[in-house]
Chain A
Protein backbone atom coordinates (compact mmCIF):
# COMPACT_ATOMS: atom_id res chain seq x y z
CA UNK A 1 0.00 0.00 0.00
CA UNK A 2 3.02 2.27 -0.28
CA UNK A 3 1.89 4.46 -3.14
CA UNK A 4 3.28 7.70 -1.76
CA UNK A 5 1.34 10.71 -0.60
CA UNK A 6 -1.27 11.60 -3.15
CA UNK A 7 -4.51 13.42 -2.51
CA UNK A 8 -6.28 11.29 -5.12
CA UNK A 9 -5.13 8.08 -3.48
CA UNK A 10 -6.10 9.43 -0.12
CA UNK A 11 -9.60 10.30 -1.27
CA UNK A 12 -9.96 6.81 -2.72
CA UNK A 13 -8.75 5.34 0.54
CA UNK A 14 -11.29 7.38 2.50
CA UNK A 15 -14.05 6.27 0.17
CA UNK A 16 -13.05 2.64 0.62
CA UNK A 17 -12.79 3.03 4.37
CA UNK A 18 -16.28 4.54 4.49
CA UNK A 19 -17.80 1.63 2.53
CA UNK A 20 -15.99 -0.85 4.75
CA UNK A 21 -17.19 0.86 7.93
CA UNK A 22 -20.74 0.93 6.59
CA UNK A 23 -20.52 -2.79 5.95
CA UNK A 24 -19.41 -3.26 9.55
CA UNK A 25 -15.70 -3.91 9.15
CA UNK A 26 -13.37 -3.88 12.14
CA UNK A 27 -10.67 -1.26 12.45
CA UNK A 28 -7.88 -3.75 11.76
CA UNK A 29 -9.28 -4.37 8.27
CA UNK A 30 -9.20 -0.64 7.55
CA UNK A 31 -5.67 -0.32 8.87
CA UNK A 32 -4.51 -3.13 6.62
CA UNK A 33 -6.30 -2.05 3.46
CA UNK A 34 -5.79 1.70 3.48
CA UNK A 35 -2.77 3.93 4.00
CA UNK A 36 -4.63 6.22 6.38
CA UNK A 37 -3.23 6.70 9.85
CA UNK A 38 -4.78 5.03 12.88
CA UNK A 39 -5.96 8.36 14.32
CA UNK A 40 -7.68 9.41 11.11
CA UNK A 41 -9.32 6.01 10.76
CA UNK A 42 -10.55 6.19 14.32
CA UNK A 43 -12.09 9.60 13.70
CA UNK A 44 -13.59 8.44 10.43
CA UNK A 45 -15.03 5.38 12.14
CA UNK A 46 -16.72 7.46 14.82
CA UNK A 47 -18.06 9.85 12.22
CA UNK A 48 -19.51 7.15 9.95
CA UNK A 49 -20.64 4.54 12.47
CA UNK A 50 -21.51 6.96 15.26
CA UNK A 51 -19.71 4.82 17.85
CA UNK A 52 -16.26 3.66 18.81
CA UNK A 53 -14.95 0.58 17.00
CA UNK A 54 -15.10 -2.69 18.90
CA UNK A 55 -11.82 -3.72 20.46
CA UNK A 56 -10.00 -6.98 20.66
CA UNK A 57 -8.43 -9.47 18.31
CA UNK A 58 -9.86 -10.47 15.00
CA UNK A 59 -11.23 -14.00 14.69
CA UNK A 60 -8.11 -15.90 13.71
CA UNK A 61 -9.18 -19.51 13.35
CA UNK A 62 -9.90 -21.31 10.10
CA UNK A 63 -12.16 -23.76 11.94
CA UNK A 64 -15.16 -21.46 11.88
CA UNK A 65 -15.30 -21.63 8.07
CA UNK A 66 -15.41 -25.42 8.16
CA UNK A 67 -18.43 -25.89 10.41
CA UNK A 68 -21.62 -26.74 8.55
CA UNK A 69 -23.62 -23.52 8.33
CA UNK A 70 -20.73 -21.02 8.14
CA UNK A 71 -19.18 -23.23 5.46
CA UNK A 72 -22.19 -22.77 3.19
CA UNK A 73 -22.14 -19.00 3.64
CA UNK A 74 -18.38 -18.82 3.20
CA UNK A 75 -18.54 -20.98 0.07
CA UNK A 76 -21.19 -18.76 -1.49
CA UNK A 77 -19.15 -15.65 -0.75
CA UNK A 78 -15.92 -17.15 -2.04
CA UNK A 79 -17.58 -18.37 -5.25
CA UNK A 80 -18.87 -14.85 -5.90
CA UNK A 81 -15.44 -13.46 -5.07
CA UNK A 82 -13.79 -15.86 -7.52
CA UNK A 83 -16.26 -14.92 -10.20
CA UNK A 84 -15.59 -11.21 -9.75
CA UNK A 85 -11.83 -11.56 -9.61
CA UNK A 86 -11.86 -13.68 -12.76
CA UNK A 87 -14.12 -11.39 -14.78
CA UNK A 88 -13.04 -7.93 -13.63
CA UNK A 89 -9.69 -6.44 -12.87
CA UNK A 90 -10.38 -4.79 -9.57
CA UNK A 91 -8.14 -4.13 -6.63
CA UNK A 92 -8.35 -6.91 -4.08
CA UNK A 93 -10.22 -4.97 -1.43
CA UNK A 94 -12.79 -3.66 -3.94
CA UNK A 95 -13.46 -7.24 -5.04
CA UNK A 96 -14.08 -8.18 -1.42
CA UNK A 97 -16.44 -5.23 -0.92
CA UNK A 98 -18.42 -6.00 -4.08
CA UNK A 99 -18.55 -9.73 -3.44
CA UNK A 100 -19.74 -9.08 0.09
CA UNK A 101 -22.50 -6.77 -1.16
CA UNK A 102 -23.63 -9.42 -3.64
CA UNK A 103 -23.57 -12.04 -0.91
CA UNK A 104 -25.66 -9.76 1.30
CA UNK A 105 -28.16 -9.21 -1.50
CA UNK A 106 -28.57 -12.95 -1.84
CA UNK A 107 -29.15 -13.30 1.90
CA UNK A 108 -31.80 -10.59 1.85
CA UNK A 109 -33.47 -12.19 -1.16
CA UNK A 110 -33.64 -15.58 0.54
CA UNK A 111 -34.39 -13.95 3.94
CA UNK A 112 -31.54 -15.74 5.70
CA UNK A 113 -29.51 -14.18 8.46
CA UNK A 114 -26.13 -13.24 6.89
CA UNK A 115 -23.81 -14.93 9.37
CA UNK A 116 -20.66 -14.03 7.45
CA UNK A 117 -19.40 -10.57 8.45
CA UNK A 118 -17.25 -8.41 6.22
CA UNK A 119 -14.32 -8.93 8.60
CA UNK A 120 -14.71 -12.71 8.36
CA UNK A 121 -15.10 -12.52 4.60
CA UNK A 122 -11.92 -10.46 4.29
CA UNK A 123 -10.15 -12.89 6.59
CA UNK A 124 -11.35 -15.82 4.50
CA UNK A 125 -9.84 -14.33 1.35
CA UNK A 126 -6.55 -13.85 3.23
CA UNK A 127 -6.65 -17.48 4.41
CA UNK A 128 -7.18 -18.67 0.85
CA UNK A 129 -4.37 -16.45 -0.45
CA UNK A 130 -2.04 -17.97 2.11
CA UNK A 131 -3.04 -21.53 1.28
CA UNK A 132 -4.61 -22.20 4.67
CA UNK A 133 -8.02 -22.82 3.10
CA UNK A 134 -9.02 -23.62 -0.43
CA UNK A 135 -12.00 -24.32 -2.66
CA UNK A 136 -12.55 -28.01 -3.34
CA UNK A 137 -14.93 -29.46 -5.89
CA UNK A 138 -17.67 -31.64 -4.45
CA UNK A 139 -17.77 -35.08 -6.02
CA UNK A 140 -21.55 -35.19 -5.84
CA UNK A 141 -22.85 -31.82 -7.07
CA UNK A 142 -19.71 -30.36 -8.64
CA UNK A 143 -19.93 -27.16 -6.62
CA UNK A 144 -16.88 -25.56 -5.05
CA UNK A 145 -16.73 -25.45 -1.27
CA UNK A 146 -14.35 -24.00 1.29
CA UNK A 147 -12.18 -26.78 2.72
CA UNK A 148 -8.76 -27.39 4.17
CA UNK A 149 -6.11 -27.68 1.47
CA UNK A 150 -5.44 -31.37 2.04
CA UNK A 151 -9.04 -32.52 1.53
CA UNK A 152 -9.07 -35.86 -0.30
CA UNK A 153 -10.36 -36.58 -3.79
CA UNK A 154 -13.61 -38.06 -2.54
CA UNK A 155 -14.78 -34.88 -0.88
CA UNK A 156 -18.56 -34.48 -0.68
CA UNK A 157 -20.00 -31.15 0.43
CA UNK A 158 -22.18 -30.46 3.46
CA UNK A 159 -25.25 -29.90 1.34
CA UNK A 160 -25.08 -33.20 -0.54
CA UNK A 161 -24.26 -35.08 2.64
CA UNK A 162 -25.33 -33.02 5.65
CA UNK A 163 -23.75 -34.02 8.97
CA UNK A 164 -25.99 -35.62 11.58
CA UNK A 165 -26.72 -32.53 13.65
CA UNK A 166 -26.95 -30.08 10.73
CA UNK A 167 -29.93 -27.75 10.61
CA UNK A 168 -31.22 -28.81 14.00
CA UNK A 169 -29.89 -25.92 16.05
CA UNK A 170 -32.29 -23.81 18.08
CA UNK A 171 -31.09 -20.53 16.59
CA UNK A 172 -33.78 -18.85 14.53
CA UNK A 173 -32.92 -17.62 11.05
CA UNK A 174 -30.47 -20.47 10.55
CA UNK A 175 -30.49 -22.90 7.68
CA UNK A 176 -32.87 -25.83 7.88
CA UNK A 177 -32.79 -29.15 6.12
CA UNK A 178 -36.54 -29.68 6.00
Chain B
Protein backbone atom coordinates (compact mmCIF):
# COMPACT_ATOMS: atom_id res chain seq x y z
CA UNK B 1 0.00 0.00 0.00
CA UNK B 2 2.72 2.53 1.03
CA UNK B 3 4.92 1.39 -1.77
CA UNK B 4 2.33 2.38 -4.29
CA UNK B 5 2.55 6.00 -2.99
CA UNK B 6 6.20 6.26 -3.95
CA UNK B 7 5.67 5.44 -7.57
CA UNK B 8 6.15 8.68 -9.49
CA UNK B 9 2.60 8.76 -10.57
CA UNK B 10 1.24 12.04 -11.80
CA UNK B 11 -1.71 11.97 -9.48
CA UNK B 12 -0.05 10.93 -6.26
CA UNK B 13 3.53 12.07 -6.65
CA UNK B 14 3.20 15.22 -4.59
CA UNK B 15 1.12 13.97 -1.77
CA UNK B 16 3.30 11.21 -0.29
CA UNK B 17 6.30 13.49 0.06
CA UNK B 18 4.29 15.95 2.04
CA UNK B 19 2.88 13.23 4.20
CA UNK B 20 6.07 11.33 4.82
CA UNK B 21 8.49 14.21 5.19
CA UNK B 22 6.84 16.98 7.13
CA UNK B 23 9.00 19.91 8.16
CA UNK B 24 9.25 19.00 11.84
CA UNK B 25 10.39 15.53 10.90
CA UNK B 26 13.15 16.86 8.70
CA UNK B 27 14.46 19.08 11.48
CA UNK B 28 14.21 16.16 13.83
CA UNK B 29 16.27 13.96 11.56
CA UNK B 30 18.69 16.81 11.00
CA UNK B 31 19.19 17.47 14.70
CA UNK B 32 19.61 13.78 15.26
CA UNK B 33 22.47 13.66 12.81
CA UNK B 34 23.98 16.83 14.21
CA UNK B 35 23.90 15.54 17.76
CA UNK B 36 25.59 12.35 16.68
CA UNK B 37 28.43 13.83 14.66
CA UNK B 38 30.41 15.53 17.47
CA UNK B 39 30.63 12.21 19.22
CA UNK B 40 32.32 10.65 16.22
CA UNK B 41 34.64 13.65 15.76
CA UNK B 42 36.08 13.73 19.29
CA UNK B 43 39.64 12.47 18.94
CA UNK B 44 40.17 9.04 20.39
CA UNK B 45 43.64 8.23 21.73
CA UNK B 46 44.37 6.23 18.59
CA UNK B 47 43.70 9.23 16.40
CA UNK B 48 45.96 11.32 18.63
CA UNK B 49 48.83 9.00 17.88
CA UNK B 50 48.09 9.13 14.17
CA UNK B 51 48.05 12.90 14.30
CA UNK B 52 51.41 13.36 15.99
CA UNK B 53 52.89 10.64 13.82
CA UNK B 54 51.82 12.52 10.76
CA UNK B 55 53.25 15.74 12.14
CA UNK B 56 56.56 14.01 12.80
CA UNK B 57 56.54 12.65 9.27
CA UNK B 58 55.96 16.14 7.98
CA UNK B 59 58.86 17.50 10.03
CA UNK B 60 61.10 14.75 8.68
CA UNK B 61 60.00 15.55 5.17
CA UNK B 62 60.62 19.27 5.60
CA UNK B 63 64.05 18.53 7.08
CA UNK B 64 64.96 16.28 4.22
CA UNK B 65 63.76 18.75 1.61
CA UNK B 66 65.69 21.54 3.30
CA UNK B 67 68.89 19.54 3.65
CA UNK B 68 68.79 18.32 0.08
CA UNK B 69 68.11 21.79 -1.26
CA UNK B 70 70.88 23.26 0.88
CA UNK B 71 73.31 20.59 -0.27
CA UNK B 72 72.42 21.14 -3.92
CA UNK B 73 72.88 24.88 -3.58
CA UNK B 74 76.20 24.52 -1.77
CA UNK B 75 77.59 22.05 -4.28
CA UNK B 76 76.45 24.14 -7.23
CA UNK B 77 77.82 27.48 -6.07
CA UNK B 78 79.14 27.88 -2.57
CA UNK B 79 79.27 31.68 -2.46
CA UNK B 80 75.75 32.05 -3.77
CA UNK B 81 74.50 29.37 -1.40
CA UNK B 82 75.95 31.18 1.60
CA UNK B 83 73.90 34.22 0.66
CA UNK B 84 70.72 32.36 -0.17
CA UNK B 85 70.79 30.11 2.89
CA UNK B 86 72.27 32.57 5.37
CA UNK B 87 74.55 29.89 6.79
CA UNK B 88 78.04 30.28 8.19
CA UNK B 89 80.92 28.96 6.10
CA UNK B 90 81.57 26.12 8.53
CA UNK B 91 77.97 24.96 8.45
CA UNK B 92 77.90 25.13 4.68
CA UNK B 93 81.10 23.09 4.33
CA UNK B 94 79.72 20.49 6.70
CA UNK B 95 76.41 20.27 4.87
CA UNK B 96 78.13 19.98 1.51
CA UNK B 97 80.14 16.98 2.64
CA UNK B 98 77.27 14.92 4.08
CA UNK B 99 76.48 11.58 2.46
CA UNK B 100 72.91 10.63 1.62
CA UNK B 101 72.77 8.19 4.53
CA UNK B 102 73.94 10.90 6.93
CA UNK B 103 71.43 13.30 5.44
CA UNK B 104 68.58 10.86 6.05
CA UNK B 105 69.72 10.24 9.60
CA UNK B 106 69.92 13.92 10.43
CA UNK B 107 66.56 14.59 8.81
CA UNK B 108 64.72 12.04 10.95
CA UNK B 109 64.50 14.15 14.05
CA UNK B 110 61.54 15.55 15.90
CA UNK B 111 62.93 19.05 15.51
CA UNK B 112 62.94 21.27 12.47
CA UNK B 113 66.49 21.90 11.28
CA UNK B 114 65.94 25.13 9.39
CA UNK B 115 65.49 28.20 11.49
CA UNK B 116 63.64 31.43 10.93
CA UNK B 117 65.81 33.95 9.17
CA UNK B 118 64.08 37.17 10.18
CA UNK B 119 64.84 38.11 13.78
CA UNK B 120 64.09 41.77 13.41
CA UNK B 121 60.69 43.36 13.99
CA UNK B 122 61.28 45.97 11.33
CA UNK B 123 62.12 43.47 8.59
CA UNK B 124 59.19 41.35 9.65
CA UNK B 125 56.86 44.31 9.46
CA UNK B 126 58.18 45.19 6.01
CA UNK B 127 57.78 41.65 4.74
CA UNK B 128 54.21 41.41 5.95
CA UNK B 129 53.47 45.04 5.04
CA UNK B 130 52.20 45.75 8.55
CA UNK B 131 52.82 48.92 10.40
CA UNK B 132 54.49 50.77 7.55
CA UNK B 133 54.31 54.49 7.60
CA UNK B 134 55.12 56.21 4.35
CA UNK B 135 55.49 53.45 1.80
CA UNK B 136 52.82 50.80 1.49
CA UNK B 137 53.59 49.36 -1.91
CA UNK B 138 54.26 45.63 -1.48
CA UNK B 139 57.10 45.46 -4.00
CA UNK B 140 58.89 48.49 -2.61
CA UNK B 141 58.64 47.32 0.99
CA UNK B 142 59.85 43.88 -0.06
CA UNK B 143 62.87 45.50 -1.68
CA UNK B 144 63.48 47.47 1.50
CA UNK B 145 63.34 44.25 3.50
CA UNK B 146 65.81 42.61 1.10
CA UNK B 147 68.27 45.47 1.52
CA UNK B 148 67.99 45.22 5.31
CA UNK B 149 68.37 41.45 5.32
CA UNK B 150 71.39 41.44 3.03
CA UNK B 151 72.97 44.18 5.15
CA UNK B 152 72.14 42.49 8.46
CA UNK B 153 73.80 39.28 7.45
CA UNK B 154 76.85 41.03 6.12
CA UNK B 155 77.11 42.67 9.54
CA UNK B 156 76.73 39.43 11.48
CA UNK B 157 79.23 37.68 9.22
CA UNK B 158 81.78 40.40 9.86
CA UNK B 159 81.35 39.84 13.60
CA UNK B 160 82.21 36.14 13.30
Residues of A near any B CB (own CB < 8 A): 72, 75-76, 79-80, 82-84, 86-88, 90, 94-95, 98, 101-102, 106, 110-112, 141-145, 159-162, 167, 175-178
Question: Given the complex, which residues of A lie within 8 Å of B83, measured CB to CB?
Answer: 80, 83-84, 87, 102
- 10 closest pairs, A vs B, by CB? A79-B150, A88-B79, A83-B154, A144-B151, A176-B137, A143-B148, A82-B154, A159-B144, A87-B82, A79-B151
| B122→A72 contact, CB < 8 A | no
| A142→B136 contact, CB < 8 A | no
Show 9 A/B contacts (Cβ-Cβ < 8 Å), sorted by A: A83-B154, A83-B157, A86-B154, A88-B79, A102-B84, A106-B143, A143-B148, A159-B147, A176-B140
User: Closest approach, in angstroms, between the C-beta of A86 and any C-beta of chain B?
Assistant: 5
Question: Given the complex, which residues of B lie within 8 Å of A159, measured CB to CB?
Answer: 135, 140, 143-144, 147
User: Closest approach, in angstroms, between the C-beta of A42 and any C-beta of chain B?
Assistant: 29
B interface secondary structure, majority:
helix
For the side of the interface on B, what is the size category? 20 to 34
> Within the assembled complex, what's the spacing in Å between the Cα atoms of A177 and B137?
5
| B144→A143 contact, CB < 8 A | yes
B75 at the interface (CB under 8 A from A): no
> Within the assembled complex, what's the spacing in Å between the Cα atoms of A80 and B148?
10
| B139→A83 contact, CB < 8 A | no
- Please name 16 further chain A to chain B contacts, defined as beta carbons within 8 Å, in addition to the given A84-B80, A143-B151, A178-B137, sorted by A numbering: A75-B147, A83-B83, A87-B79, A88-B78, A90-B79, A102-B84, A110-B139, A111-B139, A112-B143, A141-B148, A143-B144, A144-B151, A144-B154, A145-B147, A159-B147, A177-B140
A-B contacts at CB below 8 angstroms, number: 99
Question: Can you name the residue of chain A whose Cβ is closest to the Cβ of B150?
Answer: A79
Cross-chain contact of B79 among A75, A98, A111, A141 (Cβ < 8 A): A98
Question: Given the complex, which residues of B lie within 8 Å of A86, measured CB to CB?
Answer: 154, 157-158
| With contact pairs A141-B144, A143-B148, A162-B134 given, residues A176 and B139 touching in the complex (Cβ less than 8 Å) | yes
> Within the assembled complex, what's the spacing in Å between the Cα atoms of A92 and B80?
14
Question: Can you name the residue of chain A whose Cβ is closest to the Cβ of B89?
Answer: A87
| A167→B134 contact, CB < 8 A | no
| A162→B135 contact, CB < 8 A | yes
Question: Given the complex, which residues of A lie within 8 Å of B77, measured CB to CB?
Answer: 98
Cross-chain contact of B136 among A84, A144, A177 (Cβ < 8 A): A177
